[in-house]
Amino acid sequence: MISNSLSSFIKRKEFILLVIFAFVFALMSVLAPGKFLRPYNIQSMAFQLPEFGILAIAMMVVIVSGGINLSITYTATLSSIVGAVAIVAMNQAGAADWEAILAGVVIALAIGLACGAINGFVVAYVGVTPMLVTLGTMTLFEGVSLNITKGGAISGFPDAFLWFGNEAVLGVPVPMILFLLVVLASWYLLGRSRFGFSVYMIGCNPRATMFSGINVKKVLFSVYLFSALLCAISGLIMSSRYNSAKESYGSSYLLQSLAAAVLGGTDIAGGHGSLSGTILAVMILQVISSGTNIIGVNRYLTNIIMGAILIFVLALNFLSSRREIRKI
């Protein structure tokens, strides 16, 4: 019984990812002896990972529903910029720090939801292809952000705001705690709720889902809302970590999130994908980028490695699935 479940676990994609993670982690520890495994480095990775991880989950949820969200990074920065403006304005108006921060956070989350509502409305109710909608909103959100910042960065937060991105509670970084909360919420929503079940069903076959009595439009709309809410949280972490808000923060995370979701076993056509796979993929990518950074590998080489891993894993997927088909 135990060996049976063990062997089925070994065959799963998550296991392969876990092996890759262990391999990469060990490799980095060997290549950067005494540096990679330092508590300082582990902790700094724990500070960097959440903003990227949350964006990757935001991407993965949408991909599972059969779409794609190219606007994640600009949703994150737009909401954090508007939140930042509110915090700075209230701070200057003489409001207490906690009042300004609370208002800023609420406003940022609300803006995130508004961005998600635009995406969700056009995708679900108008019926435009998600890639196009989010390509358009990506440009739109970037434009609005630029219009607010005029190309610069917004800064001048009260010190208390930096707590979100830079402090640790009992040695656990606050961003990491937020990340764990997001993971927990996503796990519940995707894996344990009716909503999550419908999302997977829509990703497999929207028409059949509609005939089975699920309000496809409403679910799709909510998917984009949820995705955008996660983006707003990620945006807040980023602006706290960098002590400013700017439209270009995290723009490299867009393609990395897509890569992480796909690497984590999410089917780009929708219907399949696991939270644990995505998180493992995020961890792999984070270890590679931190590790190569420590070793002093040219950062362009890191790009090459990431791309090669992506193609390698997908090629492997294809070859192994073909072998299985042949066996049958």
Partner 1 sequence: MGTRRRDHVKLKMRKGKEAGIFAVFIAISLVIAISSPVFLRIDNLFDLIKSNIVLGIMAIAMLPIILTGGIDVSVASIIAAVTVVIGNFMIGVSSNIFLVFVVGCASGVALGLINGLLIAKLKIPPIVATLGTMSIIIGVVLYLTNGTWITGIPKNFIEYGRTDIFVLAAREGEPIGLPIQFAFFVGAAVLMWFVLRYTLVGRGVYAMGGSVVSAERIGYDLDKITIFIYALEGFLVGLAGTVHTSIMRQVDPGAFNGFELQVIAAVVLGGASVLGGYGSVFGTIMGVALFSVLNNGLILMHIPVFWQKIVVGTVLIASISVDILQKRYSENRMTRVDIEQIEG
Assess contact for 36 and 234: CB atoms under 8 A: no
Q: How far is CA 304 from the centre of its chain?
A: 21
Q: How far is the CB of 94 from partner 1 (least distance, A)?
A: 30
Cβ distance to partner 1 smaller for residue 38 or 299: 299
Closest Cα partner for 130 from 181, 185, 59, 197? 59
Q: Does the CA dihedral 43-45-48-50 come out positive or negative?
A: negative
Amino acid letter, residue 304: I
Assess contact for 57 and 74: CB atoms under 8 A: no
Contacts of residue 97, Cβ cutoff 8 Å, sequence gap at least 6: 91, 158, 159, 160, 161
Contact with partner 1 (CB under 8 A): which of 46, 89, 103, 128? 128
Assess contact for 196 and 275: CB atoms under 8 A: no
Does residue 152 interact with partner 1 by CB under 8 A?
no
Strands 154-155 and 172-173: unpaired
Q: How far is the CB of 132 from partner 1 (least distance, A)?
A: 5
CA angle 263, 59, 277 (to 5 degrees): 35
Does residue 151 interact with partner 1 by CB under 8 A?
yes
Contact with partner 1 (CB under 8 A): which of 86, 88, 133, 279? 133
Contact with partner 1 (CB under 8 A): which of 126, 170, 325, 328? 126
Pattern 106-125, binding to partner 1, x per CB under 8 A?
----------------x---
Contact with partner 1 (CB under 8 A): which of 82, 101, 107, 138? 138
Strands 168-169 and 172-173: antiparallel
Q: How far is the CB of 237 from partner 1 (least distance, A)?
A: 24
Q: How far is the CB of 258 from partner 1 (least distance, A)?
A: 6
Pattern 279-318, binding to partner 1, x per CB under 8 A?
-------------------x-xxxxx-xxx-xx--xx--x
Rg (CA), the chain: 20
DSSP SS3 for 169:
strand
Q: Does the CA dihedral 292-298-299-302 come out positive or negative?
A: negative
Q: How far is the CB of 159 from partner 1 (least distance, A)?
A: 30
Longest dimension (CA), the chain: 72
Query: What does the alpha-carbon distance between residue 244 and residue 294 come to, in Å, rounded to a whole number?
Result: 25
Q: How far is the CB of 267 from partner 1 (least distance, A)?
A: 9
Contact with partner 1 (CB under 8 A): which of 22, 37, 42, 132? 132
Cβ distance to partner 1 smaller for residue 229 or 261: 261
Contact with partner 1 (CB under 8 A): which of 30, 106, 269, 295? 269
Cβ distance to partner 1 smaller for residue 13 or 241: 13
Q: How far is the CB of 123 from partner 1 (least distance, A)?
A: 10
Give the Å distances, CA to CA, from 264 to 122, 258, 260, 297: 28, 10, 6, 25
Q: How far is the CB of 272 from partner 1 (least distance, A)?
A: 13
Q: Under the rule (CB under 8 A), what is the footprint of partner 1?
A: 68, 70, 122, 126-129, 131-133, 135-144, 146-147, 150-151, 255, 258-259, 262, 268-269, 298, 300-304, 306-308, 310-311, 314-315, 318-319
